[in-house]
Structure 1
Amino acid sequence: MKKSILLLLSILCIFSCKTTKNYTSITLSSKASLVTKKTQLKSKKNWHLKDIETDTLPGISLNRSYATILKNKRGKDIIIAVIDTEVDIHHKDLQNTIWVNESEIPNNGIDDDKNGYIDDVYGWNFLGNKKGENNRFINFEYTRILKQTSKDFKNLTPKDAVLKNEKKLQLHNRAKEAYDKRMQIDSAGKANYDKLYTLYFEAKNKIYPYLKERVFNQKSVDSLKKLKPEGINDFHFFIWSDCLKNNINDALVTKYRDNANERINKMLNLAYNDRSIQGDNENDISDTDYGNNNVSGNIDFLEHGTKMAGIIANITKNTTIKIMPIAISAYGDENDKDIALAIRYAVDNNAKVINMSFGKEFSTHKKWVDDAIKYAEKNNVLIVSSAGNFGNNLNIESHYYPNDRGEKDSNISDNFLLIGASTYTLNKKLKAKNSNYGNIDVDLFAPGTNIFTTNTQNRNTFSGGTSSAAAITSGVAALLYAYYPSLNASQIKSILMNSGIAYTIPVSTPEKDDKSKLTPFNQLSKSGKILNAYNAFIMAEKITK
């Protein structure tokens, strides 16, 4: 786009001038390909905040930023919308960062701010209804497609099907292929988890009566085994020893079985209406009277949103940035209608960054999402999304959504970033193994391995994948908005892409016919770089002078 070209020229011009702060950008010299440098990973916790020069870790140099450029500065209040699963808004590490809609009086049953969402004090859940019920399992997108297209091509010969609608037939066939592959995998999974459930409780029912007065651990099970009680065989002991070793308990075994069954019964069931709880027409974007304000109702079951919120909160901990939870994700694929309405909700409620750490292989209403992305651009809102964890080259496997790809590979807007995941290893494993890549759709990479964050119910954990990489990028984008409020979404996107660090290390990009293929890291995305906050702030300083 013309404005992007002009911005880049201005950056190059300004970047050649001496900065009043005398901060020097981080660059890699020709001799410092760093393949030979040993990374100093003493702890996985917060490695992604460290610096390639001072710590020899390919992090985002955020600690260095806070110690120098941002020291003694105060940023403007900024809202980040996290469009994801529900979020544990009461987590001790999140409760002070959650957005509050001060225009809404809590729990009075009135839409006080007249935005169409009653009592949306902490955000909105598009997976629910006014009774407070929320979906936990929803269709895969290819399931939704087959529910529509199967009716169109029922009882038609292949020739007649092509004549009726060749484009729709191609979509149908692609969806059917993905559906059949998933059905095969999940049917086998269901059989395995049903079997585990049966064997687990059969063994427990045999062993437990002998140990109910004692601590149920490996030592007591081993002691009982020596006594060779009647009716208990070695296989019962083997099952229980293995479960104890892997911390598998009643609740986990039941959860595994139930989830495996629900994948078949709901996510892949062509007869299941996954909008039955919402009660809306999923093919009518104007039908918006659904959802509820319960953004934490299923956090014992859906943890992803809490993890992403924690990553962002850790990036922005020295500021007054607030997180707005918007739930559209459950087990299954996000609905395009919910995605589009969630983006518009975020924009209308003054979010400046929207984090969307999700993706899917099909899109039934891409235009709705495209229009929402353009609406965000019009209102100076940056959208950051994850590139996906299939290990695919998106230049070839181009079906991944949401994206900002228009006709002939042009971009529909200049406010959308697609983020791949990198690791802390400066070798062929620098690209996270499962991260998608490709210099047509993927804009930038960011750390996405062993990222320390929050988990539900006041726990903490490590997270990974392109979801985490997108959340880290969203956090840095929010800091740019906070400390340099004159910047617009297009400028921030350009800064993040142009200020990263380019690594030329050959990394593993296996393909079907070449499992050992290596590709220079800087060819995996449009920018060829890994996010670097320190460089981004230097660039922002120069642009805003």
Structure 2
Amino acid sequence: MFMIKSTYILAFGLLFNQLAKPEVAVANSQRKTDKITPADTLSKAPANWFNLDPRDNQVMGVSTEKAYEYLKNRPSKTVIVAVIDSGIDIVHEDLKDKIWRNEKEIPGNGKDDDNNGYIDDINGWNFIGGKDGRNVEHDTQELTRLYVQLRDKFEGPAGAKLQKKRKEKKNFALYQEIKAAYEKELKETQEQYSQFQQLQGAYQNATAILKNQLNKEDFTLEDLEKLNSTNQQVNQAKAIMLFMAENNFTKETFAEGEDYFMNKLKYNLNPNFNPRDIVGDNYDNVKERNYGNSDVTGSYADHGTHVAGIIGANRTNNLGIKGIADNVKIMVVRAVPNGDERDKDIANAIYYAVDNGAQVINMSFGKEYSPQKEAVDAAVKYAADKGVVLVHAAGNDGKNIDQEKNYPSKILANNKEVNNWIEVGASSFSGSGKLVGDFSNYGKKSVDVFAPGVDINSTIPKQGYKENSGTSMAAPVTSGVSALLLSYYPNLTAVQVRDIILQSTYKVNDLKVNVPGAQEGKTQQVPLTDLSVTGGIVNAYEAVKLAETISTKQ
């Protein structure tokens, strides 16, 4: 599943709990009003922050600009980075010159000119589209699919007999586990949506009261601070609005939240929804390769376009943003819907990327169940054998993935670990206890590094730009650094690239950071070194210096 919007659950939940007691909200807002200014409330991460330097700029970026100063006037080689995602707006002003093109394929002739099994794959391939041109936008979660599959088996006409069969004992136990997990998540989502609607109602009501009081359709934080009233209702509305502003909740935030919850209930957790007919493949045949279509943008390209911009947005056109890698081509592989990706599609996406020349593959997606893990493992092993760097987002559930399931994984079914895989958590621009994103998964064994993933400004469709947060943003930062290393030091292997990135991280000595505590809504402080293999933040400058020494020895 996409790794941005699940953070809304945490954010809305915490805010609702605080606002649930009106007297607490009023007290908090009144206590802090003298400290709130428009500048404070509207302050954002510094522009281009993920490319900045911790020492020179006092911002916890990855020192991209400093790395390019070090590499000035050196030759570079174009590196192909495959982005397995929701699709990419390939005509975006900041990406159009950075999109990979299959030179062996003749556009629009309806033929497989290069005999790779895919017709007119000019810029990549779409594994969640049909031959008739239709595309999957939404899909269910893997939990929902497993629930439906096992429910139909064990609660159908022959289900009672199957439950008693010894050979089905393990599967029936799995069904009971899946059913309980599905029903729990559905109930929690419904409750969270109800809380969200109450929170949204409070925001809308406060907005209406203040518009009327101020006689303004649009009002600023400065207007609120100047507002003095003896009307208790107006003061309550002011307190609520100040509290919302302090927590960065806006009309747009609520619109996105509404979209998140509706999609989850209407599609992700709906047992009656199944869009796979659009694709038209034999879904049970995991070895089937040649399905899909050539529409690499699809109907929901926001996520993939944002990811692509972080990796390789044009650094020389004076538009928008600067991506990490300056000499890169983005191969578009569409395989991730708004919902959980399917193992078969991910396996085929990896095979496609490797076979068509990708040297780095970015994977900003993940889920809790992987029923066809063996198929994905085989593709991951194939990429490892071919020397391709795999970069994966660790997830946004604020959990320790040393202890909880998270797929795909660098640990294969045989318990062996591939050495071309980088698992990435999300960090922020702050060097304080908030250095780790409050949503980011972590794990001393499972997560390799952290990279910028909070308030990252990047490309979105229709020539747009937007700030997003998630490990989905941290992974492409790391993919961009991987591509940068391969571009300027082309003799490096995938294993060396991984080792260089892990060995060159920027570390903040003795820093303790916040992570979710044992009690819901509470945090605890732990050393950064306990949250990942390296206990550090990806740093391009230190990485190129280390690559220089290794390259010189080769």
TM (normalized to structure 2)? 0.76
Relative to structure 1, the CA distance from residue 535 to residue 136 in structure 2 (aligned partners, 3 Å threshold; closer, same or farther) is: same
1:313 — aligned with what?
312
The alpha carbon displacement at 1:456 in A equals 1.2
Letter in 1 for 2:511: I
Range moving further from structure 2, 45-54 or 373-382: 45-54
2:74 — aligned with what?
73
Relative to structure 1, the CA distance from residue 161 to residue 151 in structure 2 (aligned partners, 3 Å threshold; closer, same or farther) is: farther
1:130 — aligned with what?
131
The alpha carbon displacement at 1:506 in A equals 1.0
**How many pairs does the alignment contain?**
465
Alignment partner of 1:339 out of 322, 341, 346: 346
Partners of 2:397 and 2:439 within 8 A in 1: yes
1:285 — aligned with what?
286
Letter in 1 for 2:59: L
Indicate yes or no: 2:431 matched with 1:426: yes
Q: Deviations along 1:496-519, whole A, 9 cap, x unmatched?
A: 111112233111123325944221
Residues of 1 paired with 2:369 and 2:173: CA distance?
Answer: 12
The alpha carbon displacement at 1:197 in A equals 12
Q: Deviations along 1:158-212, whole A, 9 cap, x unmatched?
A: 99569444543443334323322332244457779999999xxxxxxxxxxxxxx
Relative to structure 1, the CA distance from residue 498 to residue 284 in structure 2 (aligned partners, 3 Å threshold; closer, same or farther) is: same
1:455 — aligned with what?
460
SS of alignment partner, residue 517 of structure 1: strand
1:48 — aligned with what?
50
Partners of 2:310 and 2:324 within 8 A in 1: no
Which sections of structure 1, spanning at least 5 residues, go unmatched?
1-40, 199-215, 220-233
Letter in 1 for 2:175: H
Residues of 2 paired with 1:487 and 1:163: CA distance?
Answer: 53
Letter in 2 for 1:59: G
Which sections of structure 2, spanning at least 5 residues, go unmatched?
1-42, 202-215, 220-232, 242-248, 314-321
The alpha carbon displacement at 1:349 in A equals 0.6
Partners of 1:153 and 1:161 within 8 A in 2: no
The alpha carbon displacement at 1:400 in A equals 0.3
Partners of 1:197 and 1:257 within 8 A in 2: no
Residues of 1 paired with 2:529 and 2:153: CA distance?
Answer: 45
The alpha carbon displacement at 1:281 in A equals 2.1
Letter in 2 for 1:50: L
Letter in 2 for 1:168: N
The alpha carbon displacement at 1:419 in A equals 0.3
Residues of 2 paired with 1:272 and 1:327: CA distance?
Answer: 21
SS of alignment partner, residue 541 of structure 1: helix
Residues of 2 paired with 1:322 and 1:67: CA distance?
Answer: 22
Partners of 1:316 and 1:476 within 8 A in 2: no
Residues of 1 paired with 2:325 and 2:372: CA distance?
Answer: 39
Q: How does 1:101-500 map to 2 (within 5 A)?
A: 101-154=102-155, 160=163, 163-187=166-190, 263-299=264-300, 302-314=301-313, 319-397=326-404, 399-406=405-412, 410-411=416-417, 413-500=418-505
SS of alignment partner, residue 501 of structure 1: coil
Q: Deviations along 1:264-315, whole A, 9 cap, x unmatched?
A: 443323233331101112221222332111112314xx41001000111146
SS of alignment partner, residue 278 of structure 2: coil
Q: Deviations along 1:325-355, whole A, 9 cap, x unmatched?
A: 1111121100000000000000011000000
Partners of 2:377 and 2:413 within 8 A in 1: no
Range moving further from structure 2, 498-507 or 414-423: 498-507
SS of alignment partner, residue 383 of structure 1: strand
1:87 — aligned with what?
88
Partners of 1:74 and 1:319 within 8 A in 2: no
Identity of aligned residues (%): 39
Partners of 2:325 and 2:484 within 8 A in 1: no
C-alpha RMSD of the superposition: 3.4
Residues of 2 paired with 1:533 and 1:149: CA distance?
Answer: 47
Partners of 2:373 and 2:413 within 8 A in 1: no
Partners of 1:83 and 1:327 within 8 A in 2: yes
2:11 — aligned with what?
none
SS of alignment partner, residue 110 of structure 1: coil
Partners of 1:45 and 1:451 within 8 A in 2: no
Relative to structure 1, the CA distance from residue 106 to residue 190 in structure 2 (aligned partners, 3 Å threshold; closer, same or farther) is: farther
Q: Deviations along 1:467-522, whole A, 9 cap, x unmatched?
A: 11100000000111111111111111111111112233111123325944221101
Partners of 1:97 and 1:323 within 8 A in 2: yes
The alpha carbon displacement at 1:317 in A equals 6.2
1:61 — aligned with what?
63
Indicate yes or no: 2:543 matched with 1:532: no
Partners of 1:438 and 1:525 within 8 A in 2: yes
Residues of 2 paired with 1:180 and 1:138: CA distance?
Answer: 18
